Amino acid sequence: MEPPLHDHLSSYLKRRATTDPRAVHGLSLKLGCLVSTFLCNHLLCAYVSRTISNGKEIHCYTVRSRFISDVSTANAIISLYGRCGDVKSADRLFQQMRDKDIISWTALLTCYGQNDCGEEALILFRRMLREGLSAPVFSVTGALRACSILTNLQMGQQIHSKAVKSGIGDNLSVENSLITMYAKCGNVDFALKVFFLMPERNIVSWNALINGFSQHGHENEALKLFVLMQEEGIKPDDYTFTGILASCSRMGLVEEGCEYFEQMSTEYELEPKMEQYACMVDLFGRAGRLNDAIEFIDAMPCEPDRLVWETLLTSCKVHGYVELGRFAAKKVLEMRPEDPSPYVSLASIHASMGMWDRKAHIRTMMRDQGIRKDTGMSWVEAQEQISEDRVDMLQVGEFEAKDEQTGLEYGLKKYAFRTIKAISTKFHQCQG
């Protein structure tokens, strides 16, 4: 049991949310005690919502104080790096740990999932199983998240089977992850089956299915599910409305979308976030109502972020709005100067309007500033190995996959695998 003085110091941390290790150490000396791993872990919890520089400072402090050898402290730092988006530091610390427990593995697996490192997460999960470690709930949900990122349905089904055999198949978090995985992989029928077999559901369950329907061409079903959700007395959150507004956008239901957006604040007292604002811009943009879209942006109570302007730029690209497209691209570049997508969209807009000199000028600007268009990526999975290839979409190289059949032929030729289990191609499709 921790001595009373540590309790005083812990209480101080909670009240003051102190984030300066030196200040905590100084206070501990005044109280006549030494900072322990217990207190370091409290300090790490305070850092979770802070910046990465804060996290590295406490990491250095634990190394100097020799607390880094404590497994629980190292686990907390891995989780901290994951939340801050520093995957390399998390991975490096994990590799340096002499002793690891199941929480260590799960922390790194979660870190990978939080930062869309699906391939690394699945490799780590397979390594866990090979070393004879059990797969607790958080590890399984992390692996299922990785399958969702990679749209790897077959691996997701294997993990589902393992979860059932391990007795955690009916865990609420696992079932929610299964719905998301099946929906992301395009198997909405199985996602629906998992949903209706659940003994209990929460808002995450409903959101996973609604957004899954919305993303895979079942927008009408998403809207029906929202009605059923309301009849069940489940209060929607902002993520629910992201799926509903996206469904209205794809179906061209502008007026209905505006009504749902109004419901957020009037009926459910929800403050819209940037995702919902971007959905509204997309709603107007898809319908060709670009003037309404820019008026909506001007009326926003907060400063639009990059997502909002990128959404408007996409609509300008579709409908050939040159001047408004230039304005939207300028806004995106102000926030992220190294991003090639605004240049690519602008070049496409000018090309669609026959303004070839402007398109050539934009390409010259990109080349002079050292900005390259994003490469396409393809993944071929065979014999539990995922091989990745990058393709420069500006040039015709040895391989330019236009569909899965082309990609499959390429995988067979290049890797000579006997069995190709799955292929996923993801390209930034750009015109001109």
pLDDT for residue 74 is more than 60: yes
The pLDDT value recorded for residue 162 is 93
Q: Among residues of the chain, what percentage have pLDDT more than 90?
A: 53
Give the per-residue pLDDT at 273. Answer: 96
The CB-side HSE value for 77 (13 A sphere, CA atoms) comes to: 30
How far is CA 369 from each of CA 300, 338, 350, 360, 372, rounded to the nearest angstrom? Answer: 33, 9, 20, 14, 9
Would the pTM of this model clear 0.85, i.e. be above it? no
The residue extents of the domains of the chain are 1-100, 117-200, 374-432
Q: What is the mean pLDDT of residues 171-200?
A: 94
- The reported pLDDT for the residue numbered 15 is 52
What confidence tens digit (pLDDT) does each residue in 420-430 have? 444 444 433 33
**Predicted pLDDT at 418:** 43
* pLDDT tier, 350 (very low <50, low <70, confident <90, very high otherwise): confident
Average pLDDT, the chain: 80
Q: Which whole number is the average pLDDT over 221-230?
A: 95
Beta bridge partners of 376: 391
Q: Where would I find the beta strands (DSSP E) of 172-225?
A: none
Q: In the chain, pLDDT over 70 holds for what percent of residues?
A: 70
Predicted local distance difference test score (pLDDT) of residue 214 = 94
Among the residue ranges 143-157, 346-360, 397-411, the one predicted with the least confidence is 397-411
With a cut of 50, say whether residue 118 has pLDDT above it: yes
Rounded to an integer, the average pLDDT of 283-288 is: 97
Q: Would you say residue 290 has pLDDT above 70?
A: yes
- pLDDT grade for 361, boundaries at 50, 70 and 90: confident
At residue 339 the predicted structure's pLDDT band, cuts being 50, 70 and 90, is confident
pLDDT band at 388 (very low <50, low <70, confident <90, very high): low
According to DSSP H, which parts of 32-168 are helical?
37-47, 52-64, 71-84, 87-96, 102-114, 118-130, 137-150, 153-165
Instruction: Answer whether 304's CB lies under 8 Å from 277's CB.
Output: yes
Instruction: Please give the full DSSP string across 29-52, using - where no structure is assigned.
Output: HHHT----HHHHHHHHHHHTTS-H
More confident residue, 346 or 10: 346
The confidence score (pLDDT) of residue 34 equals 44
Q: Span 120-145, mean pLDDT?
A: 92
Site of tokens 């294997």: 158
**Interatomic CA distance for residues 155 and 74, integer angstroms:** 30
> Mean pLDDT across the stretch 77-104?
89
CA distance 250 to 245: 9
The pLDDT of residue 267 is above 90: yes
Q: In this predicted model, what pLDDT tens digit does every residue of 14-58 receive, in sequence order? A: 555 444 545 555 555 454 444 455 455 555 555 544 444 555 555
pLDDT number for residue 145: 94
Range scoring the smallest mean pLDDT among 5-9, 104-108, 269-273, 356-360: 5-9
What's the confidence (pLDDT) of residue 62? 52
Q: Which of 8-12, 226-230, 354-358, 413-417 has the highest mean pLDDT?
A: 226-230
